[in-house]
Structure 1
């Protein structure tokens, strides 16, 4: 038997290739699926089954693309009307040499969710592992709020399947979840990628709750819901157009890039570092640093406009394109060849955003200067700073709440690293706010600054 994990960075998505004796299955493949074919070939196996544990909300599943390459059957839960593949039910089994994958219907995270118990027939009939999708995660369980009017029902279903189907598999069963720490599909996932049913039974706080407390916790649990989730639901239920290969964005000269912006409405996405964007950028560009692109793109990027990339290196533009393709953004048409250096050398207009550090903020507070600190961390991270003035708007909510901010005050954006702060600053500049600065330091440092003799005034969001 062989089993390999394929990790998709940024989205913190895990997919798997498992097989034996010349046959293999892939669980929850991503769209750029050549890697699965290569793994199976290395083990002398043919991919015969493709399983989807549920309709994913945060990435485009690559089942159709992989089936085109392999002729494998696509299998998923039968309670959702997918427009492709086949429905499976509780107890269905699929053999791969001397191993068996047994279907467990595990609704809760979504109504059609399934898990797959992995049985090594040579060792007995107890599961050696289980592919849990987003039902049981490492340190947490899946969110149940994708159907707001069914929160209580789905929370109860999740409690039931955890205690009646997954935990009874036995403490020895290794857990293979669809997501890890940082994913939007859970709240408090552990940093570890691996666990067992026994370990989770003992240490997962959600499994320690009784039915009533579990359901109440899930009902009141708060998660962010990205706008692009609706697009993922459509793609992953109806299918997405196939791509014969991963198309690379075309390099464009500064003149051609500028013409596309002016004449074709090209949406400019800058994936350079916060400091680089602050120092110089194209007017109207949105900043999303490359290492945050997979997590943040779906909140701000359009599906109906061509997107032009600005990056430091050609390889960065290619990586950005890959991240975007996994979320169904096939509209990254071109990138600025030579980056901002070529733009400047061509004499094009450049904008900048003043960058400040936390010491500068401390000094301005002490001098009672009139400015607003806009903290864009999420609700869990956010603790109101002891120095005023500050306001909290989570970065994902900023487009909808930008109208609540005064255009007559200087605004300094702040997060824990500068990455979300630069996104916020670029959004403000897109919205024609004039006096915008970005703090490239940490909110954790800023909040500890104490001004002797000063009483903090809380400013409501």
Structure 2
């Protein structure tokens, strides 16, 4: 027997493959499916079934792609009309050697959400683990705000799913959620990706709210962001995503090629670090450091625009392609061969972003000549602590708020560490803001040196 967890970095998506004997099943596969085929070859098994715990919103599920390659059947909850696969219902059981998966209908995150209870027939019917999709995470539970007008209904359903179906499986049951920390599908997930139902029962903050009405009130009070790309994911994951067969293979491009394509309307996406982008970049390019790409591409990139990538090396380009394809960004037209050095040696002009230290920023904010401090963190971060006088615009909403910002003042972009701030700075520079600086270190640096302008929710 084997069980493997596969993590898609950035999206913090967790998929699973379990097998015994000659068979294996995959739960919530990602779109780039080669990893599952490699495991099947290594273990000498055939993938016979694919399970989807729900219609995912934050990535393109790879079920259709994997089924086409393996002949496996696809199974998902019956409460949504999918354009592919087979419906399952409460109590349906599937065998994989001595392993058994039993379906629990666990609506709340979405109406069709299911969980899969894992047992080992060699050791009776006591659950070994449960694959909970987006119903229950390590340290949190699923969001219930994705169906406008039905938030209360979904919160009530999730409470029943958690307390009447999942927790009764027993404290010994291992927890296998579909996401880890950093996912947009939850706010307070633990960094740890392993737990048991018993541990969650004792320590998960949301599971301490056993009263249904109190639980519902808490869920209704949450404020989650809904990236615009969710609609694209929901459509593809309900109808079935087009087959890829392989990841895109973008062309290596010269500096002249990149310049011509950018002038024709392509978007240059710079994957390098915040510090590298600040030092030198292609004018008009968008800074999206590789580790931020999955979190903010869905807000800032257009599906109808060709993408040109700038990276430190080809490996980073390949990594970015996989992350983009998982979100259905397939119009990747090429990458700058030789990285930014090729642009610089071509004699073309390059841009830069000024940097400001935390102590200098703090002093300026206390003076009568303060810059416009633009804080682009999430609202929960800003509410908890901020610098006095800061203007808050969530990074994902910044493109629609640029016209509300004064262009006759220096703008200092600010976040938790300076990474998100460099993305904001690139958006401002691209839109014609001339005097832009990035607060490197941002909140982390301000806390480290004890900025006098630092405010918290308690003393604001």
For the aligned pair, the TM-score class normalised by the smaller chain equals over 0.9
Structure 1 segments (4+ residues) deviating >4 Å: 383-388
Deviations 1:14-68 (A, max 9, x none): 1000111111100000011111122122222110000000011111100011111
Structure 1 match to 2:23: 23
CA distance in 1, matches of 2:127, 2:389: 57
Structure 2 match to 1:279: 279
Structure 1 match to 2:348: 348
CA distance in 2, matches of 1:165, 1:155: 15
CA distance in 1, matches of 2:163, 2:357: 50
Q: CA deviation at 1:383?
A: 4.9
In the alignment, is residue 325 of structure 1 matched against residue 325 of structure 2? yes
Structure 2 match to 1:150: 150
Call closer, same or farther: CA 1:385–1:100 in 2, change over 3 Å: closer
Structure 2 counterpart SS, 1:216: helix
CA distance in 2, matches of 1:388, 1:171: 46
CA contact (8 A) 2:130 2:176 kept: yes
Structure 1 counterpart SS, 2:128: strand
Q: CA deviation at 1:360?
A: 2.1
Structure 1 counterpart SS, 2:125: coil
Structure 2 match to 1:446: 446
Call closer, same or farther: CA 1:365–1:200 in 2, change over 3 Å: closer
In the alignment, is residue 137 of structure 1 matched against residue 137 of structure 2? yes
In the alignment, is residue 220 of structure 1 matched against residue 230 of structure 2? no
Q: CA deviation at 1:387?
A: 5.7
Q: How does 1:47-196 map to 2 (within 5 A)?
A: 47-196=47-196
CA distance in 1, matches of 2:100, 2:212: 32
CA distance in 1, matches of 2:87, 2:388: 57
Structure 1 match to 2:304: 304
Deviations 1:129-160 (A, max 9, x none): 11000101111110000012100000000001
Structure 2 match to 1:256: 257
Structure 2 match to 1:233: 234
CA distance in 2, matches of 1:192, 1:385: 25
Call closer, same or farther: CA 1:17–1:289 in 2, change over 3 Å: same
Q: CA deviation at 1:236?
A: 0.7
CA contact (8 A) 1:17 1:40 kept: no
Structure 1 counterpart SS, 2:150: helix
CA distance in 2, matches of 1:365, 1:123: 65
CA contact (8 A) 2:417 2:444 kept: no
Structure 2 counterpart SS, 1:116: strand
Q: CA deviation at 1:270?
A: 0.6
User: What TM-score, normalized by structure 2, do the two folds share?
Assistant: 0.95
- Total equivalences in the alignment: 453
CA distance in 1, matches of 2:263, 2:186: 41
CA distance in 2, matches of 1:99, 1:175: 16
Q: CA deviation at 1:366?
A: 4.7
CA distance in 1, matches of 2:383, 2:345: 44
CA contact (8 A) 1:386 1:450 kept: no
CA distance in 1, matches of 2:277, 2:37: 39
Q: CA deviation at 1:399?
A: 1.6
In the alignment, is residue 374 of structure 1 matched against residue 378 of structure 2? no
CA distance in 2, matches of 1:183, 1:388: 29
CA distance in 2, matches of 1:165, 1:385: 38
CA distance in 2, matches of 1:450, 1:142: 38
CA distance in 2, matches of 1:71, 1:286: 41
CA contact (8 A) 1:272 1:287 kept: yes
Q: CA deviation at 1:369?
A: 2.0
CA contact (8 A) 1:137 1:189 kept: yes
Structure 2 counterpart SS, 1:149: coil
CA contact (8 A) 1:32 1:62 kept: yes
CA distance in 2, matches of 1:299, 1:192: 27
CA distance in 2, matches of 1:208, 1:370: 45
CA contact (8 A) 1:371 1:389 kept: no
Q: CA deviation at 1:408?
A: 1.2
Q: CA deviation at 1:179?
A: 0.3
Supply the RMSD in Å over aligned alpha carbons: 1.7
Call closer, same or farther: CA 1:140–1:255 in 2, change over 3 Å: same
Question: Which stretches in structure 2 are left out of the alignment for 5+ residues?
Answer: none
Question: Which stretches in structure 1 are left out of the alignment for 5+ residues?
Answer: none
Q: How does 1:36-51 map to 2 (within 5 A)?
A: 36-51=36-51
Q: CA deviation at 1:384?
A: 7.9
Structure 1 match to 2:243: 242
Q: Which moved more, 1:442-451 or 1:184-193?
A: 442-451
